[in-house]
């Protein structure tokens, strides 16, 4: 056999979606509930005092940040588990002994995790409409941005899943790195609201660029220029793809 | 016959620095059943894992069905079905889904009739809608075989197919392997049991400490290995073997309180019953009888010594 093994991609993709479907109810309910809670706490309680940021209603202002936040965690969580579990359970033997290339493996696992993460993002977007009127200025850019974010964070999660050798290691990066960075990344406030030196320090947080770029697709403006956001996503994609290429070339933590 | 697998100079050093394979050369012929024997840690699983793509070789090369396992891995892996030593299954998947998944992974179009045949042959059809976690260990092993066969491989690797399997299931397994062979599949299996190799294999390879110390037709090997010893614990110790027992090759052990008789299990007449009859005729009473097969370990030791002597 030669050529592209698209059947393998499809099999893995279906397998992963099936895995997600086993927890479908919680998988869908959790984002709805968290989003609602955020709106009650931030939109209702705090928003009633803040009313507007950069001329945008506070409740609407936090929508892109909320979507991003959930998509970051969903992407990393699902993609890292997707590849970590077979490693942990030993079922990875089958993947390694199948005529499946590195590219096909990545497309399948990352594709499935990104699908899940995009559905969660969409659910939050829809739920947000129950609480606030959100007008999206650049819908196509918004969709494209979501896809890019899902793919790059799933790639990152995939690498994490390959690297991790215990459940603890699997959790530590999302909990200790991504979560704080997201909270400090301007999901709930504008960078302009910070005083120096925090404002400058914040600009070293890559999440700022992602949240800002996504916010731009909604309101036509963000904390930093959209070109910086795009540059950053491109860089992140490139780094992840290089890392994955290296992982498969060397068999790092996959093959002894 | 043409060889389907060619292993040449295959070496493996693990990251720990341990050298698990020290240059293996081996040809597997198409359609044969090849049994790989060897003590724990000999390197059997390592060799299989390299051929199948789970472990990277440190040196040497392997071709399967004419495809190099590294450069042309799609070709080589497509030809292989692997049943690994450990039972690794997706606990929440249904039997039939997991077997279909394997077929898809190998790039084959869905074929329900074929999957049904495989499941029926393995007596799994009734269990097709059960989740993996609902199966017994022996059934799980059979699902692993079904997965390996799902893409119609030309070569099947069975890494200790009968480890931890009860006698009845072991018989079933042997029968199944025999049937698979009828369909033209080449089978390579590893085992610790000599009688298993004896029952099924056409050829036997013995691997020890990363070296293939012997590859032989089974029949020839069994002549060498098929010795058993009978120990007769006497009621009264003897000072010497009576001349009436001269036709048996006997040795006096434990200060004359035991007689040991080494015999060939494959011989037409082992001489055991006639020996016991003669003992009775001579009025030599005995308290206990014990037969022992030299353990595989012993055999390896003697083989290794032979190697060194040669
Ligand atoms: N991942 C690893 N890292 C380091 N050493 C390893 C690794 N896997 C196996 N080994 C070592 O390589 C040697 C061969 O192991 P292997 O699993 O191939 O033996 P085996 O012949 O299959 O044994 P068994 O009959 O117990 O299954 C052993 O000494 C083992 O400890
Ligand atoms: Mg083994």
Would residue B129 count as lying in a domain?
A: yes
Quick one: which ligand is closest to B44's CA? 1
Q: Which residue is closest in CA terms to ligand 1's atom 22? A: B45
Count how many Cα atoms sit within 13 Å of the Cα of residue A240 in the half-sphere of its side chain.
26
Report yes or no on B300 lying in a domain: no
Nearest chain A residue (CA) to B91: A89
Instruction: Indicate if ligand 1 lies below 6 Å from the C-beta of B40.
Output: yes
Alpha carbon distance, N-terminus to C-terminus of chain A: 26
Same domain assignment for residues B208 and B283 = no
**Does a structural domain hold residue B301?**
no
Q: What is the spatial distance between Cα B207 and Cα B204, in angstroms, rounded to a whole number?
A: 10
Ligand 1 pocket test, candidate residues B11, B46, B208, B297, most atoms within 8 A of CB: B46
Can you read off the two tokens belonging to residue A256? Answer: 């002894």
Query: Is B20 contained in some domain?
Result: yes
DSSP tally for chain A: helices H, then strands E: 12, 2
The pLDDT value recorded for residue B301 is 62
Please check whether residue B307 lies inside any domain of the structure: no
For residue B22, tell me if it sits in a domain. yes
Q: How far apart are CA B126 and CA B91, in angstroms?
A: 18
Kindly tell me the sign of the dihedral angle through the C-alpha atoms of A180, A182, A184, A185: positive
* CA atoms of A45 and A56, how far apart (whole Å): 17
Q: What is the CATH number of the domain that holds B93?
A: 3.40.50.300
Pocket probe mutation, ligand 1, options B11, B15, B45, B49, max atoms within 8 Å of Cβ: B45
Query: What are the φ and ψ backbone dihedral angles of B253, each rounded to 5 degrees?
Result: -125, 165
Q: Would you state the torsion angle of the CA atoms of residues A188, A169, A254, B24, taken in this order, to the nearest 10 degrees?
A: 170
pLDDT of A58-74, one tens digit each?
888 889 998 998 999 99
pLDDT at A32 over 60: yes
Q: Which of A169, A227, A218 is nearest to A68 (CA)?
A: A218
Of B164, B190, B224, the position where a domain reaches its end is B224
Q: What angle do CA A17, A22, A24 make, to 5 degrees?
A: 80
* Phi, psi (degrees; rounded to nearest 5) at A218: -85, -50
Condensed to tens digits (0 to 9), the pLDDT of residues A129-147 reads: 888 888 899 999 999 999 9
Give Cβ neighbours of residue A103 (< 8 Å, ≥ 6 apart): none
Length of chain B: 310
Can you read off the two tokens belonging to residue A37? 């809670």
Q: Which residue has the tokens 């009621």?
A: B235
Instruction: Determine contact: B52 vs chain A, CB below 8 A.
Output: yes
Q: Is B142 domain-assigned? A: yes
Among positive and negative, which fits the CA dihedral A116, A188, A143, A170?
negative
B18: contact with A, CB 8 A cutoff: no
Same domain, B217 and B90: yes
* A1: pLDDT strictly greater than 50: no
Output DSSP code: residue B163. Answer: T
Total-model pTM: 0.85
Structure-token pair, residue A14: 């279906």
Q: How far is B50 from chain A (nearest CA, A)?
A: 9
- Dihedral in degrees, nearest 10, Cα atoms B67, B70, B73, B76: 40
In degrees and rounded to multiples of 5, residue A134 shows phi and psi of -115, 125
B68–A contact, CB cutoff 8 A: no
Q: Are residues B36 and B139 in the same domain?
A: yes
The number of distinct structural domains making up chain B is 2
Q: Cα(first)–Cα(last) distance of chain B, in Å?
A: 29
Q: Residue A185 has what pLDDT? A: 84
Residues of A in contact with B88 (CB under 8 A): 89-91, 93-94
As a whole number of angstroms, the distance between CA B47 and CA A246 comes to: 25
Same-domain pairing of B119 and B247:
no
The answer to whether position B169 is within a domain reads yes
Q: Whose CA is nearest to atom 29 of ligand 1?
A: B41
CB contact (8 A) between residue B15 and residue A11: no
Three-class HEC string of B189-226:
EEECCHHHHHHHCCEEEEEECCEEEEEEEHHHHHHHHC
Q: Mean pLDDT per segment of 10 residues, for chain B of length 310 residues?
A: 91 94 95 91 95 95 96 95 92 95 96 95 93 91 94 95 78 85 93 80 91 85 72 89 86 87 79 88 89 64 62
Domain residues for the domain of B251 are 227-293
Q: How much is the pLDDT for A112?
A: 97
For residue B103 the two structure tokens come to 């077929």
Q: Cα(B48) to centroid of ligand 2, in Å?
A: 9
B44 close contact with A: CB closer than 8 A: no
- Check whether residue B232 and residue B210 sit in a common domain: no
> Count of residues for chain A?
256
Indicate the residue of B74, B105, B147 with minimum beta-carbon distance to A11.
B105
Tell which of B189, B209, B224 closes a domain.
B224
Nearest to B151 by CA among B123, B109, B188, B179: B109
Q: Which helix (H) or strand (E) element contains residue B159? A: strand B155-159
Same-domain pairing of B183 and B274 = no
> A99 vs B75: CB contact, 8 Å cut-off?
yes
Q: Is B211 in the same domain as B98?
A: yes
Task: Note whether B105 contacts A18, CB cutoff 8 Å.
Answer: no
CA distance A241 to B6: 35
Indicate the residue among B163, B192, B224 that finishes a domain: B224
CB B104 near ligand 1, within 6 Å: no
**Which of B55, B107, B110 to mutate to test binding with chain A, by most A CBs within 10 Å of its CB?**
B107
Read off the pLDDT of residues A77-122 as tens digits, 9 standing for 90 and up. Answer: 999 999 999 999 999 999 999 999 988 999 999 999 999 999 999 9
Residues B190, B238, single domain; the answer is: no
Residue B100, helix vs strand vs coil: helix
The Cα diameter of chain A in Å comes to: 65
Atom of ligand 1 nearest to the CA of B160: 27
Could you give the CA distance from residue A37 to residue A40 in angstroms, rounded to a whole number? 5
Residue B249 and residue B213 share a domain: no
Q: Phi first, then psi: what are they for B11, rounded to 5°?
A: -125, 150
Q: Is B233 exposed, middle or buried (0-12, 13-18, 19+ CB in 10 A)?
A: middle
Instruction: Judge if B134 and B219 occupy the same domain.
Output: yes
Residue identifier of the C-alpha nearest atom 5 of ligand 1 = B14
The single residue listed with the structure tokens 């997201």 is: A182
Find out whether the beta carbon of B273 lies less than 6 Å from any atom of ligand 1.
Answer: no
Give the model confidence (pLDDT) of B294-304 as tens digits: 655 566 566 66
Q: Is the peptide bond before A252 cis (omega within 30 degrees of 0)?
A: no
CB–CB of A96 and B78 under 8 A? Answer: no
Please tell me the residue having the least CA distance from ligand 1 atom 30. B41
**Nearest residue by C-alpha to atom 26 in ligand 1:** B40
What CATH code is carried by the domain that includes residue B262?
3.30.70
Residues B217 and B233 in one domain: no
For all residues of chain B together, what is the average pLDDT?
A: 88
Q: Is the distance from CB of A182 to CB of A166 less than 8 angstroms?
A: no
Question: ipTM beyond 0.90?
Answer: no
Contact A154, A74 (CB under 8 A): no
Strand ranges across the sheet with B80-83:
B80-83, B155-159, B186-191, B33-37, B203-208, B211-217
The answer on B261 and B192 residing in a single domain is no
**Mean pLDDT to the nearest integer, A18-30:** 87
**Nearest CB to A2: which of B56, B74, B93?**
B74
Establish, for the pair of chains A and B, how many residue pairs have beta carbons separated by less than 8 Å: 85
A129 at interface of B, judged by CB pairs closer than 8 A: no
Measure A212 CA to ligand 2 centroid, in angstroms.
54
Q: Take residue B308 and report the two structure tokens written for it.
A: 């060194």
């Amino acid at each position: 056999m030669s050529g592209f093994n698209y059947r393998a991609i499809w099999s893995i993709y279906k397998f992963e979606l099936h895995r997600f479907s086993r927890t479908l109810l919680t998988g869908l309910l959790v984002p709805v509930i968290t989003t609602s809670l955020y709106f009650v706490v931030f939109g209702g309680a705090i928003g009633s005092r803040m009313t507007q940021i950069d001329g945008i209603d506070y409740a609407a202002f936090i929508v892109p940040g909320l979507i991003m936040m959930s998509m970051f965690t969903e992407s990393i969580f699902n993609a890292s588990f997707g590849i970590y579990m077979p490693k942990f359970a030993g079922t990875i033997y089958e993947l390694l002994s199948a005529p499946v290339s590195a590219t096909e493996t990545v497309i399948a696992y990352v594709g499935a995790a990104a699908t899940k993460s995009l559905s969660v993002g969409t659910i939050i977007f829809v739920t947000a409409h129950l609480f606030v009127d959100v007008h999206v200025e650049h819908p196509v850019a918004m969709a494209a941005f979501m896809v890019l974010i899902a793919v790059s964070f799933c790639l990152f999660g995939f690498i994490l899943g390959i690297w991790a050798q215990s459940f603890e290691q699997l959790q530590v990066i999302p909990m200790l790195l991504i979560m704080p960075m997201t909270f400090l990344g301007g999901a709930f406030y504008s960078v302009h609201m910070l005083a120096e030196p925090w404002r400058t320090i914040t600009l070293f947080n890559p999440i700022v660029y992602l949240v800002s770029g996504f916010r731009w697709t909604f309101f036509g403006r963000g904390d930093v220029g959209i070109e910086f956001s795009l540059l950053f996503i491109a860089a992140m994609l490139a780094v992840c793809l290089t890392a994955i290429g290296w992982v498969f070339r060397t068999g790092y933590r996959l093959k002894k | 016959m043409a060889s389907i697998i060619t292993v040449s100079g295959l070496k493996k050093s693990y990251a720990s620095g341990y050298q698990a394979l020290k240059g293996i050369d081996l040809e597997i012929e198409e359609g044969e059943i090849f049994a790989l024997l060897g003590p724990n840690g000999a390197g059997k699983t390592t060799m299989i894992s390299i051929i199948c793509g789970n472990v990277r070789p440190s040196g040497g090369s392997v071709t399967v069905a004419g495809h190099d396992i590294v450069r042309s891995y799609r070709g080589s892996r497509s030809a292989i079905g692997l049943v690994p030593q450990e039972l690794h299954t997706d606990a929440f998947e249904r039997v039939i889904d997991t077997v279909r998944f394997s077929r898809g992974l190998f790039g084959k179009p869905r074929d329900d009739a074929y999957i049904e045949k495989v499941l029926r042959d393995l007596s799994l059809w009734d269990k097709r809608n059960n989740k993996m976690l609902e199966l017994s260990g022996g059934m799980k092993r059979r699902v692993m075989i079904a997965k390996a066969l799902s893409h119609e491989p030309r070569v099947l690797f069975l890494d200790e197919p009968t480890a931890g399997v009860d006698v009845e299931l072991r018989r079933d397994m042997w029968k199944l392997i025999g049937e698979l062979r009828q369909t033209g599949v080449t089978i390579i299996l590893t085992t610790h049991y000599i009688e298993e190799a004896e029952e099924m294999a056409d050829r036997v390879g013995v691997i020890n400490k990363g070296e293939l110390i012997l590859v032989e037709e089974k029949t020839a090997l069994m002549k060498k290995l098929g010795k058993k010893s009978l120990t007769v614990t006497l009621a009264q110790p003897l000072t010497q073997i009576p001349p009436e027992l001269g036709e048996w090759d006997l040795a006096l052990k434990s200060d004359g309180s035991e007689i040991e008789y080494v015999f060939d299990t494959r011989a037409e007449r082992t001489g055991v019953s006639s020996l016991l009859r003669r003992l009775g005729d001579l009025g030599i009473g005995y308290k206990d009888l014990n037969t022992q097969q030299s353990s595989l370990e012993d055999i390896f030791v003697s083989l290794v010594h032979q190697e060194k002597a040669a």
